[in-house]
Amino acid sequence: MEKFTQLTAIAAPLPLANVDTDKIIPARFLKTIHRSGLGVHLFDTLRFDEHGAERPDFVLNREPYRRAQILIAHENFGCGSSREHAPWALLDFGIRCVIAPDFADIFYNNCFKNGILPIRLPRALCDALIDDVAQGDNARLAIDLERQVVVRPNGQEIPFEIDPFRKHLLLNGLDDIGQTMAHAGAIDAFEQNRAAAQPWLPKTTRA
């Protein structure tokens, strides 16, 4: 998993509440277990019409937001079914950070497991950031995870809270497998000691 330390990038305003996981990635695209290739279907029903043509009024179909790596939304982002494909689609499109007043719990947890930073900020601050980036000419925000601040285009720093353990995982690029592999030495030592003390037990192997 890619580390998240600092990010200065284009931010796309999406002033919608209750954006569910079916809007993020419709169910008909959930036939794969691979994380790549889902970005083209991100917000499919919002980005494209019934003929597959882009809807010109949708934010991610306009410049400079086609290259957005930050998304700013309203309440209850990621609600609905608990599909991990939702953060996969965001990440494959290029989104590394989502800012909203709150998130659905399962979506929020899945973000951390996939290298996406979800930031909770009060609605008024989200709206201020949406106003900042809605003009397009200065649509960049800076995120500093170590210092836990969002930096507005005018230089104002907005602090945010994050669980220390989850912060550690993002800073070090550790998903669930990475957390386990960080203890590979201790696991190997345990297996060696177990094999010596109980040689009649079947041996285990690690890929």
The structure tokens listed for 78 are 């990621």
Instruction: Check if the beta carbon of residue 64 is closer than 8 Å to that of residue 139.
Output: yes
Residue type at 184? A
Separation of alpha carbons 31 and 183, rounded Å? 34
CA angle 105, 57, 71 (to 5 degrees): 30
Contacts 24+ apart (CB under 8 A), 124-131: 125/158, 126/72, 126/73, 126/74, 126/99, 126/100, 126/101, 127/15, 128/152, 129/11, 129/13, 129/72, 129/99, 129/158, 130/13, 130/15, 130/72
Q: How many domains are contained in the chain? A: 2
Strand order through the sheet with 117-120: 117-120, 97-100, 70-73, 6-14, 140-144, 149-151, 157-159
Mean of per-residue pLDDT scores for the chain: 90
Separation of alpha carbons 119 and 7, rounded Å? 13
Q: Has residue 67 been placed in a domain?
A: yes
Residue 3, pLDDT > 70, answer yes
Residue 195, pLDDT > 80, answer no
Residue 152 and residue 207 in one domain: no
CATH classification at residue 129: 3.20.19.10
Per-residue pLDDT, 148: 98
Residue 74, pLDDT > 80, answer yes
Residue 120, pLDDT > 80, answer yes
pLDDT single digits (tens) 175-184: 766 666 565 5
Report the percent of the chain where pLDDT is more than 70. 88
Residue 78 and residue 25 in one domain: yes
Separation of alpha carbons 47 and 151, rounded Å? 28
Residue 206, pLDDT > 60, answer no
Q: Has residue 1 been placed in a domain?
A: no
Count CB-CB contacts under 10 A for residue 17: 14
pLDDT single digits (tens) 147-163: 999 999 999 999 999 99
Residue 179 and residue 200 in one domain: yes
Per-residue pLDDT, 207: 55
Separation of alpha carbons 177 and 197, rounded Å? 28
pLDDT single digits (tens) 89-116: 999 999 999 999 999 999 999 999 999 9
Residue 95 and residue 188 in one domain: no
Per-residue pLDDT, 200: 73
Per-residue pLDDT, 199: 77
Among 2-11, 74-83, 135-144, 165-174, which stretch is predicted with the lowest mean pLDDT? 135-144
For the entire predicted model, the pTM comes to: 0.87
Report the percent of the chain where pLDDT is more than 90. 75
pLDDT single digits (tens) 76-91: 999 998 889 999 999 9
Residue 167 and residue 185 in one domain: no
Domain that holds residue 20: 6-174
Residue 115 and residue 140 in one domain: yes
Residue 13 and residue 96 in one domain: yes
Place 5 in a pLDDT band, splitting at 50, 70 and 90.
Answer: very high
Residue 183 and residue 100 in one domain: no
